[in-house]
A and B are shown apart, each in its own frame.
Chain A
């Protein structure tokens, strides 16, 4: 059973790149530029792991995480240095530029499970 991963970022280029880089037979990547779309998708089928950008129009990563609750592990990605106090997240990744190595290690960890 492949790992179902959501990637949510309002940047279409980053979404596309994430999909190109990590979508495989073992990992099914679904990207969303609108967190609301991601939420409705999640309600229908759920996800095994969610990467979410903090700063997005309409709803930020923390607000999104609050709606998911503990139904799925969430990794917060942010370019901003200010870190939310919320402990809702599995991990808060704030390295610059994107913390690809950490993303890959998290993916590897979940694939093993």
Chain B
């Protein structure tokens, strides 16, 4: 039985007991009153009989039955026994008072317990709220930490991704399966599409570079034909003219050999130029060593055109490079400089190589008075040339620039210089930096 039913039952008992006590009190009062006749006393009997004995203990029920019987016999007989009945009624009254007190006590108890329960529930509900808040906080912290970790992980992965280097895209991985996975997959998809786009761009770039090379090969053809013509002319006529004169022919073998080497060098240059790409070998070389070789190759031209070429070089200047390519670039700049001043009254070319701000600086300066701005802008474009058709193909500078770029270097025209000056900058070789 729950507390509420118990409480209700107790309340009902209290009501019953009150009525019973009132009836009993009336009975006692009438019995004690000598003037009260049997009929008056008998009227209380009907009240007692109307009383339905309920939730009473057995003893009390027996007392009530006994008193009913006694009252009935008292009013129906002439026997005295009035005092005896009064005694019984008094005993019943005491019993009822006792029972009433007990029941009230019990009801209070139930009431108290109910109150306690309500209190407990209220307390429980307060505690529950606290717990709920606590759990919410915990789960929020957990979610924050978990989500934060995942988002940070994604961020870190994205930081590794270099948009210019598609090979880094694959470092972005999806390593779990939950709601964030969708986001990660979206990123991955984005990167995949970006990689494809970059690959296509790279492919197009490589193709257009190759196309430019092929186009310039066409441009080169006339010049190359002329270049190869001369050695071939020598070889052809040497064979024709001296083959019948063994002694003279022997002398001419050197000339023929030189002519063959010259033609071979041009062909090798063309081959190197036309190759789309190959293994790039990087070695650390001193700029001075490269220039000593360059000087041998450019000396003939320098003498022929009466243009002295001075080379001033710091032996500390080291670069990591494809030696032949860099040599080609330096030769190109010196040749250009010689061509630029060969018709001028003042003829000189000076090369200055030095180290500045962890960079190797190479300056090609000639007696010229700078380059007009409109020409300077176009200077590094393929096929741009100021030389007459056939003598310059306009590829020297654009190819040189390409090689310099590949070496992580830069090129500019020093506009502040009173003379014409091309300045090349290369990163200092790491070996040289370690030693410094």
Binding site for B on A (CB under 8 A): 10-14, 16-17, 20-21, 33, 55, 57-58, 79-80, 96-98, 100
Contact = CB atoms under 8 A, between A and B. Distances in A.
A43 B225 CA distance: 34
Contacts of B241: 21
Contacts of B236: 97-98, 100
B255 A17 contact: yes
B21 interface: no
A100 B226 contact: no
B258 interface: yes
20 contacts: A13-B230, A13-B231, A13-B262, A14-B234, A16-B255, A17-B255, A20-B255, A33-B304, A57-B342, A57-B343, A57-B391, A58-B343, A79-B229, A80-B222, A97-B229, A97-B230, A97-B236, A98-B237, A100-B237, A100-B240
B390 interface: yes
Contacts of B222: 80
Given A58-B342, A79-B226, A80-B226, A97 B390 contact: no
Nearest to A55: B390
Interface of B: 222, 225-226, 229-234, 236-238, 240-241, 252, 255, 258-259, 262, 300, 304-305, 339, 342-343, 388, 390-391
A10 B304 contact: yes
Contacts, number: 59
A12 B304 contact: yes
Contact of B229 (A33, A57, A58, A98): A98
Contacts of A16: 255
Contact of A96 (B229, B231, B304, B305): B229
Nearest to B388: A55
B234 A17 contact: yes
A98 B226 contact: no
Nearest to B235: A97
Contact of A100 (B233, B255, B388, B391): B233
Contacts of B388: 55
Nearest to B342: A57
Given A13-B255, A17-B233, A55-B388, 20 more contacts: A10-B304, A13-B231, A13-B258, A13-B262, A16-B255, A20-B255, A21-B237, A55-B390, A55-B391, A57-B391, A58-B342, A80-B222, A96-B225, A96-B229, A97-B229, A97-B230, A97-B232, A98-B233, A98-B236, A100-B233
Q: Which 3 A-B pairs have the closest CB atoms?
A: A98-B233, A97-B233, A79-B226
B265 to A, nearest CB: 13
Contacts of A33: 304
B225 to A, nearest CB: 7
Contacts of A17: 233-234, 237-238, 255
Nearest to B236: A97
A33 B259 CA distance: 18
Contacts of B237: 17, 21, 98, 100
A10 B234 CA distance: 15
A96 B236 CA distance: 11
A11 B258 CA distance: 13
Nearest to B222: A80
Contacts of A58: 342-343
Contacts of B343: 57-58
Contact of A13 (B225, B259, B305, B342): B259
A100 B255 CA distance: 17
Nearest to B256: A17
B252 A11 contact: no
A20 B252 contact: yes
Contacts of A57: 305, 339, 342-343, 391
A17 B300 CA distance: 17
Contacts of B226: 55, 79-80
B98 to A, nearest CB: 145
A14 B305 contact: no
A108 to B, nearest CB: 14
B266 to A, nearest CB: 13
A28 B230 CA distance: 22
Q: Which of A12, A20, A97, A98 has the most CB of B within 10 A?
A: A97
B137 to A, nearest CB: 88
A111 B258 CA distance: 31
A33 B303 CA distance: 12
A21 B249 CA distance: 11
B274 to A, nearest CB: 22
Contacts of A80: 222, 226, 390
A13 B257 CA distance: 12
Q: Which of B234, B304, B388 has the most CB of A within 10 A?
A: B234
A55 B304 CA distance: 15
B225 A79 contact: yes
Contacts of B232: 97
A11 to B, nearest CB: 5
A97 B339 CA distance: 26
A96 B222 CA distance: 12
